[in-house]
Structure 1
Amino acid sequence: MAIRVLVVDDSSFFRRRVSEIINSEPRLEVIDVATNGREAVEKVQRLKPDVITMDVEMPVMDGITAVREIMASTPTPILMFSSLTHDGAKATLDALDSGALDFLPKKFEDIARNRDEAVTLLQQRVLQIASKKAFMRRPVVARSEPVTPAATSPTASPLQRSSLSTGNLSHSRPVSVSARFKATGKKYQLTAIGTSTGGPVALQKILTKLPVNYPHPIVLIQHMPATFTAAFASRLNSLCKIQVKEAEDGDVLRPGVAYLAPGGKQMMVEGRPGAAKLRILDGGDRMNYKPCVDVTFGSASKVFSDKVLSMVLTGMGADGREGARMLKNAGATIWAQDEESCVVYGMPQAVAKAGISSEDLPLDRIAERMLVEVGLA
């Protein structure tokens, strides 16, 4: 049975264009369209689609308000379309905060090198988030048993899920709600976090729980367009006790400051422990990800060796696996977000299945685990 999609946009041209792309994938079917947020809310309640594509700016009711109402009454996976402007970035972050799972630029030429690539990307995103629908309403049930290949199920909803992880993760230690963490006793000089789809919400959940005296610098690599990272860093800085900034070339790493890699660029760590700084370089035509987790993690392994506490969070693909491997070979600590709390269990799964991560952590407990590990709890 095809995945049923509701397309919401006030532009008849865009509705038609998106509908044609979605309907050209045999596993997808556009069941209806809506011209504004109010109409979308009503049609979601009546038609119960599997996925919604949603514009941000619309008459009668905007996309952000529509997302809030839909998530309150009929939780459904939502893919936002956004303009690549500063205001568009702020609105998209608001939509993700309200429960939307992912976003794409509204101009397809901004997301791919050619039309075929853009078409495939849109279809893949809709298929990917459709798998979350069955778990949108389920409560969190943290697991305490080891994960085995036999214990499999689809991935879960945006922030609250209850499925079992897939793949051979017997090397990592799953965590139950009642588990009390114990520090390993290792000493750190840098925290490094890499993420993609679902990352804005995940990073906000973690960083807002860190105290102002967090003892070392934090580097953040989030797959995000260039116009979005400044707005995202500003939002995090306004919400967090620690300082959060978009990284600039030459930034000296300071304790209690989180540096977000600029979109469209690569962020590398250079220097030596105690006097390390950031280099912001051109994204590179051959790089799939700009910024790339592998690039930053790999450079951190050369400067800080075993003194890095690193995490790979929710995201599509496998970026971070090879950089995490370099960190592990240097003696650093690598954790992966567990499947239940991921929007997309791609990047963490790649690290876990490769036997690189040492712990498999639910999003809601990662900050707690960090504070125990660095001696603040």
Structure 2
Amino acid sequence: MSVALASSSTPNSMRQEPLRVMVVDDSVVIRGLIARWLEPEPDMVVAASLRTGLDAVNQIERVNPDVAVLDIEMPDLDGISALPLLLAKKRNLIIIMASTLTRRNAEISFKALSLGASDYIPKPESTREAGAAETFRHDLIQKIRHLGAKVRRAAPASSSPPLAPALDRPREARPAPPPVGQPQLVRRAFSTQAPRVLLIGSSTGGPQALMTLVTELGLVIDRFPVLITQHMPPTFTTILAEHLARVSRRPAHEALDGEVVRAGQIYLAPGGRHMRVVRHGAEAAIALDDGPPINFCKPAVDPMFISAIDVWQGGALAVVLTGMGSDGMRGGKEIVAAGGSVIAQDEASSVVWGMPGAAANAGICAAVLPLCQIAPKLIRLFSGDRS
């Protein structure tokens, strides 16, 4: 049976109230676990705990959630079928898809992102594994908090459309001015050295942003290697690499330990392993390691950024895309200190302006751009522009 755990609040009330979370999962164990995790959090409350997607669709107007944690496999109506019905009833609802780490569920999660889901989270195979359960708890709370905060900053009647290719979004041709009272971000000059490698780091919202970006980067990929670290678990990175290859029409794959880095290729850090670059004679090679998480992430962006300095020095050009936390900021600082350059995605086009915001606020960026402007800028930089 469906159980409502908190009464609905007035939609136009002051936005100091806790985020209202609707948990939809046919497992009573998972529902109970999430409820216990969220109970101590002062900025969120479980508004409803429901067994099926059909329950969620029928009760969304009464529950009025800000965020829904939506399981994929459920009786009566599964998550991927419930997703568009929920968004039809509440366009600005934040939906986080939850699934186990199977290839089928990874594919469904990617489809959900294209249908309007905000993010996904892998469920542990067993909640009795302390490490896996703790990672799930930490990631879930952070995603709810950061994604929920974004929708609450938006106008009540508006919703954030999914990221789209640059040509479909001409209104973002110019960056929006900073809000009143916010200081202008410090910009550095671009490196005078020619870039020789493109490094990209991303997290929440990253899969959509990456696919938008690489669609326009063919001229760069053909002549230079592209290395990407996206915060993502195993299996999901396999699917992401396949999607990147499809939209870019260029070779893209999970990086292999020891393989030589060459132009014309997209190398994606595999889920669960950090990706670094090392010298291999006169060439660069991939080095994967199974070390502990860095910045709560594995793979993490900082190891890739920092290791690239030993190989390309001031020829490293880094891009920090949408994502929670500050991963990439420390590595970006070291890239700039070595003579390279950093570009960050701007706040308006980011799903979460954590990682790019940290880089921008650290004063290490030569440009902070809407997603639709990043590919054209990269093409100019790799073609010889230095400004």
Indicate the TM-score class for this superposition, using the shorter chain for normalisation.
0.7 to 0.9
Give the Cα separation in 1 of the matches to 2:372 and 2:188.
Answer: 18
Give the Cα separation in 2 of the matches to 1:218 and 1:125.
Answer: 28
Q: Is the alpha carbon distance of 1:271 and 1:116 closer, same or farther for their aligned partners in structure 2, counting shifts above 3 Å?
A: closer
| Shift of residue 336, structure 1, vs aligned partner | 0.6
Q: Is the alpha carbon distance of 1:83 and 1:316 closer, same or farther for their aligned partners in structure 2, counting shifts above 3 Å?
A: same
Aligned to 2:109: 92
Tell me, yes or no, if the aligned pair for 1:210 and 1:241 is still in contact at 8 Å. no
Which residue of 160, 184, 189 corresponds with 2:196?
189
Aligned to 2:250: 242
Q: Is 2:272 aligned against 1:264?
A: yes
Q: Is the alpha carbon distance of 1:307 and 1:117 closer, same or farther for their aligned partners in structure 2, counting shifts above 3 Å?
A: closer
5+ long unaligned stretches in structure 1:
152-166, 174-182
After TM superposition, the structure 1 stretch with the greater mean CA deviation from structure 2, 362-371 or 286-295, is 286-295
Q: Is 2:278 aligned against 1:278?
A: no
Q: Is 2:358 aligned against 1:358?
A: no
Q: Is 2:271 aligned against 1:252?
A: no
Give the Cα separation in 1 of the matches to 2:103 and 2:327.
Answer: 26
Tell me, yes or no, if the aligned pair for 1:309 and 1:332 is still in contact at 8 Å. yes
User: Pairwise mapping of residues 180-329 of structure 1 onto structure 2 (< 5 A)?
Assistant: 186-211=193-218, 214-271=222-279, 275-284=283-292, 288-329=296-337
Give the Cα separation in 2 of the matches to 1:198 and 1:112.
Answer: 27
Aligned to 2:346: 338
1:132 is paired with a residue whose SS is helix
Give the Cα separation in 1 of the matches to 2:90 and 2:362.
Answer: 37
Aligned to 1:78: 95
1:87 is aligned with what amino acid? R
Q: Is the alpha carbon distance of 1:188 and 1:270 closer, same or farther for their aligned partners in structure 2, counting shifts above 3 Å?
A: same
Q: Is 2:82 aligned against 1:66?
A: yes
Give the Cα separation in 2 of the matches to 1:340 and 1:206.
Answer: 16
Which residue of 146, 150, 154 corresponds with 2:181?
150
Deviation track 1:74-109 (CA, whole Å, cap 9, x = no partner) reads 221111211012222222222222222222222275
Aligned to 1:113: 131
Q: Is the alpha carbon distance of 1:29 and 1:289 closer, same or farther for their aligned partners in structure 2, counting shifts above 3 Å?
A: closer
Please provide the CA RMSD for this pair. 2.9
5+ long unaligned stretches in structure 2:
1-16, 162-168
Q: Is the alpha carbon distance of 1:145 and 1:226 closer, same or farther for their aligned partners in structure 2, counting shifts above 3 Å?
A: closer
2:131 is paired with a residue whose SS is coil
Q: Is the alpha carbon distance of 1:319 and 1:278 closer, same or farther for their aligned partners in structure 2, counting shifts above 3 Å?
A: same
Which residue of 28, 39, 52 corresponds with 1:23?
39
Q: Is the alpha carbon distance of 1:254 and 1:71 closer, same or farther for their aligned partners in structure 2, counting shifts above 3 Å?
A: farther
Give the Cα separation in 1 of the matches to 2:298 and 2:87.
Answer: 31
1:289 is aligned with what amino acid? C
Which residue of 14, 28, 51 corresponds with 2:67?
51
2:298 is paired with a residue whose SS is coil
| Shift of residue 284, structure 1, vs aligned partner | 3.3
2:235 is paired with a residue whose SS is helix
| Shift of residue 146, structure 1, vs aligned partner | 5.2
Tell me, yes or no, if the aligned pair for 2:293 and 2:299 is still in contact at 8 Å. no
TM-score (norm 2): 0.82
Tell me, yes or no, if the aligned pair for 1:189 and 1:273 is still in contact at 8 Å. no
After TM superposition, the structure 1 stretch with the greater mean CA deviation from structure 2, 207-216 or 140-149, is 140-149
Aligned to 1:176: none
Q: Is the alpha carbon distance of 1:308 and 1:274 closer, same or farther for their aligned partners in structure 2, counting shifts above 3 Å?
A: farther
TM-score (norm 1): 0.84
| Shift of residue 332, structure 1, vs aligned partner | 0.9
Aligned to 2:19: 3
1:283 is paired with a residue whose SS is coil
1:211 is aligned with what amino acid? G
Q: Is the alpha carbon distance of 1:144 and 1:121 closer, same or farther for their aligned partners in structure 2, counting shifts above 3 Å?
A: closer
| Shift of residue 206, structure 1, vs aligned partner | 0.6
Aligned length: 353
Tell me, yes or no, if the aligned pair for 1:273 and 1:304 is still in contact at 8 Å. no
Q: Is 2:154 aligned against 1:130?
A: no
Tell me, yes or no, if the aligned pair for 2:225 and 2:266 is still in contact at 8 Å. yes
Q: Is the alpha carbon distance of 1:301 and 1:189 closer, same or farther for their aligned partners in structure 2, counting shifts above 3 Å?
A: same
Give the Cα separation in 2 of the matches to 1:110 and 1:243.
Answer: 40
| Shift of residue 296, structure 1, vs aligned partner | 0.8
Tell me, yes or no, if the aligned pair for 1:237 and 1:244 is still in contact at 8 Å. yes
* Identity across matched positions, percent: 36
| Shift of residue 247, structure 1, vs aligned partner | 0.3
Deviation track 1:280-312 (CA, whole Å, cap 9, x = no partner) reads 122336773221211111111111011122101
| Shift of residue 226, structure 1, vs aligned partner | 2.1
Give the Cα separation in 2 of the matches to 1:285 and 1:145.
Answer: 35
2:144 is aligned with what amino acid? V
1:92 is aligned with what amino acid? S
Tell me, yes or no, if the aligned pair for 1:148 and 1:169 is still in contact at 8 Å. no
1:50 is aligned with what amino acid? D
Tell me, yes or no, if the aligned pair for 1:264 and 1:283 is still in contact at 8 Å. no
Q: Is the alpha carbon distance of 1:74 and 1:217 closer, same or farther for their aligned partners in structure 2, counting shifts above 3 Å?
A: same
2:208 is aligned with what amino acid? V
**4+ long deviations beyond 6 Å:** none
1:99 is paired with a residue whose SS is coil
2:236 is paired with a residue whose SS is helix
Tell me, yes or no, if the aligned pair for 2:176 and 2:348 is still in contact at 8 Å. no
Aligned to 2:3: none
